[in-house]
Chains A and B, each alone.
Chain A
Amino acid sequence: MTHLIQVVFSLETVYLLTGLVLFAFAWLTFADKCHPAPAGSALFWAILGVIFILGTHLPHAITGFLVLILVALDGANRVRPGVAEQDDSPTANSPGPPPGPRVGNPTNRIFFPVLTIPLVTICFTLTFRLRHLDVTQGALIGLGFGGLAAMFVALRLTRAPLRTLLDDGRRLNECMGTVNILPQLLASLGVIFAAAGVGQLIARGIVNVVPRDHLFLLVVANCLGMFLFTIVMGNSFAALPVIAAGVLVPLIVVPFHVDPAMAAMITLTAGSSGTLITPMAANFNIVPAALLELKNPYAVLKFQLPFALVLWPLHVLLMYVLIRLS
């Protein structure tokens, strides 16, 4: 019984469900008579669906070739959003409700479906914590089942047909576009950068330039290295091991007898300033811009730039002061 529950409420099930949703999107696109590129777009989302469902079991080389097909379809401009059902909505510059049947006066009950998503996510997280399972995985499984539960709640509440639900989801997904797979592609780039030793090259570059007895410059170099490498990788988590092993520990912690907990923690968030200003962190900066249908895909980055540029030097200062005080 416990085994059955573990199989049902697993990441694999959530991947399967997302894959099926993608298949439905692909089919609706293919059947859309007004679509500017039905075949290419449907193929793109269907292949992504295949990777979602079979990704764990397919040989990595096959998945790799499928990814190359995805990118080729996008590169050849064969993946496009569908046109709106009715063309009498010129105010398409804001993410308003899509055209079609709707209720004149919504009530607060319309919040129920979207509130279902965080509610289910949190329930899963807490259950996983109580049962001493992987909490991060619990949150992701919760997100998947939350999305599914929200679909049921939305259907019951609005009494809309299933097709309308999936078609609206399909339109929103197509509107966001191929940018949706960018975080996954960037993760692959990160793996290849790591295999090619790009991080070590950057760390070695820093070591060669900075005088080894000048604490302040070393702190600057450490935080700058973390910042730059995070900008390159799009992820402070990928940068930390390289910078900690290449710069922080050998050049600051060991020779100056610095508290490693303090130094490493501040180094990590020095990287977060980089995450805020790099398009490589697509899941935080580029995908949300698409989700909000921003005209400028870099608008979120632009807004975060002054925040990051003020916060980063404060890391240098804080670390230097804390080392001097100890």
Chain B
Amino acid sequence: MHLPEWARLAGLLVVAVGFALRIKPTLVVVSAALLTGLLASIPLLTSAAGLQHVPVLRNVIGEPGQEGLIDMLGRAFAENRLMTLFIITLPAIALSERFGLQRQSAKLIGRIRVATVGRLLFVYQLFRVLMGILSLRVNGHPTFVRPLVYPMALGAARIRDSAASTEELPESTVERIKAASAASENYGNFYGQNLSPVQPGILLVYSVLKGLGYTVSVWRLVAYAIPIAAISLLLGALQFHLLGKRRRGRE
């Protein structure tokens, strides 16, 4: 079967359409992976001892040494288990929440008069940048954002809107504060991690350039990461400030 090379981009189309139609993401991603692989004539399975002599399987098994689609799927899924490790933190977080963790976070922030939603989220972004500089890697979404940052931001919003409790805040406000809390983590994490020479971003650029024949100093790479990191902090400060402003204007 000879297809033009660009037919392989059909997988991208599947992903775009699938996500847009909100079809189950797991189904979309695996369909796109299998389609792309088949269009690129990758066999379904790696040839294993004796399997290629089974008549039904002959057409789906690769030449010796060629990795099959299902094998790639399994290998990458197993190698990336580290991305799902956060599950082990869920019991402790959920039990603490049963015993009032989020309420206590909100209460604590209520005592700090200068704490506003905008300032709080910016301070967290700054904190994540500092963690990056110190090359401390933490998955901040489960460990900081859900148990601490989000309820604190909600508590700050309650004080400013003089609501009796956080449950009285309008749903749209709560949703926006949730999204902004997650964004604060991403902004700080993405741009802060390039400020340390032992973080994976810098090491990746170093090894890619080395592979292309350029040996550069990792400190030089860190230096060129500074302008964008600085701009990201300014933009974050602005966006979180506007978030507070817009909400206040509405009430």
Chain A: minimal CB distance from B201 (Å) = 6
Given contacts A106-B99, A189-B29, contact A198 B224 (CB under 8 A): no
Contact A118 B143 (CB under 8 A): yes
1/0 contact string of A306-321 vs chain B (CB within 8 Å): 1100110011001000
Q: Which residue of A lies closest to B187 (CB)?
A: A307
Give the chain B neighbours of A185 by CB distance below 8 A. 26, 29-30, 33, 77
Q: List A128-154 residues whose CB lies under 8 Å from chain B.
A: 129, 135-136, 139-140, 143-144, 146-148, 150-151, 153-154
Q: List B83-106 residues whose CB lies under 8 Å from chain A.
A: 83-105
Contact B29 A91 (CB under 8 A): no
Chain B: minimal CB distance from A44 (Å) = 10
Contact A187 B83 (CB under 8 A): yes
Given contacts A125-B136, A147-B92, contact A292 B145 (CB under 8 A): yes
Q: Which residue of B lies closest to A159 (CB)?
A: B99
Give the chain A neighbours of B78 by CB distance below 8 A. 51, 55-56, 58, 60, 63
Given contacts A288-B141, A291-B141, contact A102 B99 (CB under 8 A): yes
Give the chain A neighbours of B163 by CB distance below 8 A. none
1/0 contact string of B30-56 vs chain A (CB within 8 Å): 101100110110100110100000000
Q: Which residue of A lies closest to B103 (CB)?
A: A106
Give the chain B neighbours of A207 by CB distance below 8 A. none
Q: Is B231 an interface position by the 8 A CB rule?
A: yes
A261–B219 Cα distance when bound, in Å, is 10
Contact A261 B224 (CB under 8 A): yes
Contact A192 B100 (CB under 8 A): no
Contact B92 A117 (CB under 8 A): yes
A91–B137 Cα distance when bound, in Å, is 35
Which of A97, A181, A284, A293 interacts with B26 by CB under 8 Å? Answer: A181
Question: Main SS of chain B's interface residues?
Answer: helix
Contact A294 B178 (CB under 8 A): yes
A280–B11 Cα distance when bound, in Å, is 13
Give the chain B neighbours of A318 by CB distance below 8 A. 227-228
Q: List A20-59 residues whose CB lies under 8 Å from chain B.
A: 21-22, 48, 51-52, 55-56, 58-59
Interface range on chain A: under 10, 10 to 19, 20 to 34, or 35 or more?
A: 35 or more
Give the chain B neighbours of A113 by CB distance below 8 A. 92-93, 95-96
Give the chain A neighbours of B187 by CB distance below 8 A. 304, 307
Chain A: minimal CB distance from B237 (Å) = 11
Contact B175 A294 (CB under 8 A): yes
A21–B87 Cα distance when bound, in Å, is 8
Q: Is A103 an interface position by the 8 A CB rule?
A: yes
Q: Is A299 an interface position by the 8 A CB rule?
A: yes
Given contacts A110-B104, A187-B83, A195-B40, contact A136 B137 (CB under 8 A): yes
Give the chain A neighbours of B19 by CB distance below 8 A. 279
Give the chain A neighbours of B17 by CB distance below 8 A. none
Give the chain B neighbours of A114 by CB distance below 8 A. 92-93, 96, 101, 143, 147-148
Contact A244 B81 (CB under 8 A): no
Contact B94 A171 (CB under 8 A): yes
Give the chain B neighbours of A295 by CB distance below 8 A. 171, 175
Contact A18 B98 (CB under 8 A): no
Contact B104 A244 (CB under 8 A): no
Q: Is B129 an interface position by the 8 A CB rule?
A: no
Give the chain A neighbours of B214 by CB distance below 8 A. 249, 253, 260-261
1/0 contact string of A66-81 vs chain B (CB within 8 Å): 1110110011000000
Give the chain A neighbours of B143 by CB distance below 8 A. 114, 117-118, 121, 146
Which of A68, A122, A183 interacts with B30 by CB under 8 Å? Answer: A68
Q: Is A64 an interface position by the 8 A CB rule?
A: yes
Q: Is A269 an interface position by the 8 A CB rule?
A: yes
Contact B83 A184 (CB under 8 A): yes
A169–B22 Cα distance when bound, in Å, is 27
Which of A18, A61, A146 interacts with B48 by CB under 8 Å? Answer: A61
Give the chain A neighbours of B148 by CB distance below 8 A. 111, 114
A206–B93 Cα distance when bound, in Å, is 47
Residues of chain A having any CB pair with chain B under 8 Å = 11, 14-15, 17-18, 21-22, 48, 51-52, 55-56, 58-68, 70-71, 74-75, 91, 93-98, 100-103, 105-108, 110-111, 113-114, 116-118, 121-122, 125, 129, 135-136, 139-140, 143-144, 146-148, 150-151, 153-155, 157-158, 160, 164-166, 168-173, 178-193, 195-198, 201, 232, 237, 240-241, 244-245, 249, 253, 260-262, 264-266, 268-269, 272, 275-276, 279-280, 282-289, 291-297, 299-300, 302-304, 306-307, 310-311, 314-315, 318
- Give 12 A-B pairs besides A191-B76, A198-B8 with Cβ atoms closer than 8 angstroms: A15-B85, A55-B78, A108-B108, A114-B96, A135-B198, A139-B136, A155-B95, A165-B95, A166-B91, A188-B76, A293-B178, A307-B235
